[in-house]
Amino acid sequence: MISACPRLPATPAAAWTCWVVLLLAALSLLLAGCGTTVVGADGREIRTDSDQTSPERRARVRLELASLYFGRGQASTALDEVKQAIAAKDDMPEAFSLRGLIYASMGEPALADESFRRALQLSPRDPDVLQNHAWVLCQQRRFDEANAQFVASLAAPQQRDAVRTLLSQGVCQARAGRYADAERTLSRSYEIDPTNPVTAFNLADVLLRRGEIERARFYVGRINNQAELVSAQSLWLSARIEQRRGDTEAVRTLGRTLRDRFPQSPETLRFERGNFDE
């Protein structure tokens, strides 16, 4: 129901777009080249103190690169970069948090836990660290521990993105089969930002599982009524809802759209097989 994106879990899964990759790469180069130089009369470069990259600056550049590589699915390269960031500056909680996410993606739960423990030693109430740890715990099906970390993240004084944290928490609760809790949590996220299609999708999915057919139809309709937001996942969810409503014509129409727009998608295959009760 959701992809394992560390900062912003999302369904439909949002791929990294080219401009984001270029922006991150440009930012890394900018950070790396922040030193000041002076050109002498003969054209030779005269280096100054600011040309020397500080350990913190080196660490930040490595951390940017690690985030970029991890976002592109290059976990081993990301791990190498984050290790270099930690070697340059070993008191950055965000570096240990990212290392935890990378280890988790590589199937190393013990190493991931150790990284998050270190991050939380450095910054016990960091909302991003708490949320990232919660998400990894959820992936490991340690649902009670995950929920406690989500609650702590939401209560942190520096929490600035409750929409994202509530969304992550709600999806985790749904994974645990706690659909009533998931509905309440996702509804809170939606109330804060009703324009977020990821929240609308997951809330519609949970409502369908709870038998709230018309409400589920409303929320997924908010997505499918905007052409730029339509995906195979949102069309498939609509088809499942219309199947439950007994509207066979609507189901056929959605099926045609799926085949036309997303012929190779898993959702189209499920539609063709009639797997509506997934």
Q: In this predicted structure, which of 40-54, 105-119, 247-261 has the lowest mean pLDDT?
A: 40-54
- Position 44 scores a pLDDT of 59
Q: Which two tokens stand for residue 248?
A: 């066979």
209 and 145 housed in the same domain:
no
**Among candidate residues 121, 149, 177, the one where a domain is terminated:** 149
**Among candidate residues 149, 178, 207, the one where a domain is terminated:** 149
The model's pLDDT over 9-42, given as tens digits with 9 standing for 90+, comes to 333 333 222 222 323 333 333 333 444 444 455 5
What are the φ/ψ torsions at residue 152 (nearest 5 degrees)? -65, -40
**Among candidate residues 91, 115, 149, the one where a domain is terminated:** 149
10 and 87 housed in the same domain:
yes
Residue 246 predicted with pLDDT over 70:
yes
Query: Number of folded domains in the chain?
Result: 2
227 lies in a domain?
Answer: yes
- Position 109 scores a pLDDT of 95
Dist. CA 178–CA 172, nearest whole Å: 9
Residue 151 predicted with pLDDT over 60:
yes
Q: What single-letter amino acid sits at 101? A: L
Region 199-205 average pLDDT: 97
140 and 210 housed in the same domain:
no
Residue 265 predicted with pLDDT over 60:
yes
93 lies in a domain?
Answer: yes
The model's pLDDT over 114-126, given as tens digits with 9 standing for 90+, comes to 999 999 999 999 9
CATH number at residue 120: 1.25.40.10
125 and 207 housed in the same domain:
no
Q: H or E element: which one contains 278?
A: none
Dist. CA 265–CA 234, nearest whole Å: 12
254 lies in a domain?
Answer: yes
141 and 214 housed in the same domain:
no
Residue 249 predicted with pLDDT over 70:
yes
pTM: 0.79
Residue 239 predicted with pLDDT over 80:
yes
Bridge-based pairing of strands 45-47 and 37-39 is: antiparallel
Q: In this predicted structure, which of 29-43, 124-138, 196-210 has the lowest mean pLDDT?
A: 29-43
112 and 240 housed in the same domain:
no
Provide, rounded to the nearest whole percent, the portion of the chain with pLDDT above 70. 81
Work out the burial of residue 195: count CB atoms within 10 Å of its CB; fewer than 13 is exposed, 13-18 middle, 19 or more buried. Answer: exposed
Region 243-259 average pLDDT: 97
- Position 8 scores a pLDDT of 35
Which pLDDT band holds residue 64 (cuts at 50, 70, 90)?
very high
129 and 267 housed in the same domain:
no
What are the φ/ψ torsions at residue 85 (nearest 5 degrees)? -60, -45
Q: Are 183 and 215 in contact (CB under 8 A)?
A: no
114 and 9 housed in the same domain:
yes
Nearest to 14 by CA among 274, 233, 270, 245: 233
- Position 50 scores a pLDDT of 54
Q: Are 35 and 53 in contact (CB under 8 A)?
A: yes
Strand runs (DSSP E) across the chain, as ranges? 37-39, 45-47
Q: Are 147 and 173 in contact (CB under 8 A)?
A: yes
249 and 143 housed in the same domain:
no
9 and 131 housed in the same domain:
yes
Q: Domain residues for 97?
A: 1-18+54-149
Q: Which two tokens stand for residue 17?
A: 């777009």
Nearest to 106 by CA among 136, 138, 143, 86: 136
208 and 110 housed in the same domain:
no
